[in-house]
Amino acid sequence: MAEPKAITSRDNPLLVKLRKLAAEPAAYRKLGQLWVEGDHLCAAYLKRGGKPAQAVITEAAWEQPALRALATAADAVAIVPAALMAGLSTLESPAPIGFVLPWSDKGTVQSHAPTVILDRLQDAGNVGTVLRTAAAFGFTQCLALTGTAALWSGKVLRAGMGAHFGLNLVEQVAEADLDALRLPLLGTSSHAAQALHEVDLPWPCAWVMGHEGQGVSAALHGRCSLTLRIAQPGGEESLNVAAAAAVCLYESTRQRL
C-alpha cells in the first residue's frame, strides 16, 4: 500500500469522479469503476478475495483499528474530512469508508450455472434482495435483461448486502442471449395448473422473475419449460417479486437437499 494521502478539497479529481458514481446509478458503465460504501460491503469484497484499487476513509474512521485495517487492504488510501465523505454518499448517515473497484463490462453468460433471470425489474431494492436470496440458496448467476435496474448501483449494492461479489452478474442482456443457457427455464403464473410444491423441480435451472407491474413477458414465458403457481391460500392476487423469488429459490434448494 502506498502512503495514505490526505484530501481536503472537494475539487480533487478522485472526489469529483466518486460524486458522479454516487449520483448516477449506471455511471459505472461509463467510468469503468464502482463506488462501494460501508464497512460491511468492503469487508464482503475482501472476504471474496477482492483487491480494491482505492479506499476512501474519514479522518475519524482512520483512527479506528478495524476500519483502518479495511482501508489498508487497498492499493491506495485517501483520508478525508467527514464533510467531504458526506458529499460522496446518498445516505442520510454517510458511511465512514468506501472502496473504488474496477468494473469492466456487462459480463458473460455461464451456460450451466444455476441462474436467476430478471426481466425488467425496476425497483433497486427488489433487485438487490433477489441477488441476496439467489446467493443464499446456491444460485450462482444472475442475468438482467435490458430495462432492469442497474445491478451495480448503490441502492442495489446495499440491498444485496455483499451477494454481488459471489455471483456471476450479466446485465443489459437481450432475450437472444439466453440461448447460451443450457438449462430449463422456470416461471410462475397465478393461473398455472400445477403448484410449485407439487412438481419435481429440475436442477440446475434458471428461474425467471418479471417486472413488478407487468410480470414476465410473453416471449420469456414461451421459453419456460415449466410455469408454476405459488400457493396463496390467503387469497392475495400476487406476491412482491422479491418474495416470489425467495419462495421459488427456496423450493429448488429444499428439493435438492
Domain boundaries, the chain: 5-102, 115-256
DSSP state of 164: G
Number of Cβ atoms within 10 Å of the Cβ of 254: 11
**Contact of 209 with 130, CB cutoff 8 Å:** yes
Domain 5-102 CATH superfamily: Ribosomal protein L30/S12 (3.30.1330.30)
pLDDT of residue 119: 97
2/22 Cα distance (integer angstroms): 25
| 115-256 carries CATH number 1.10.357.10 | no
- How many alpha carbons lie under 13 Å from residue 169 in its C-beta half-sphere? 26
Q: Is the CB of residue 145 less than 8 Å from the CB of residue 119?
A: yes
Q: Please report, in tens digits, the pLDDT of each residue of the chain (257 residues total).
A: 679 999 999 999 999 999 999 999 999 999 999 999 999 999 999 999 999 999 999 999 999 999 999 999 999 999 999 999 999 988 889 999 999 999 988 789 999 999 999 999 999 999 999 999 999 999 999 999 999 999 999 999 999 999 999 999 999 999 999 999 999 999 998 888 899 999 999 999 999 999 998 889 999 999 999 999 998 888 777 789 999 999 999 999 999 99
pLDDT at position 1 is 64
Q: What is the pTM of this model?
A: 0.93
Q: CA 166 to CA 143: how far, in whole Å?
A: 14
DSSP state of 142: E
- In 3-state terms, what secondary structure has residue 53? coil
| pLDDT of 222 | 93
Handedness of CA 63, 69, 70, 72 (dihedral sign): positive
Q: What is the rounded distance in angstroms from the CA atom of residue 47 to the CA atom of residue 210?
A: 31
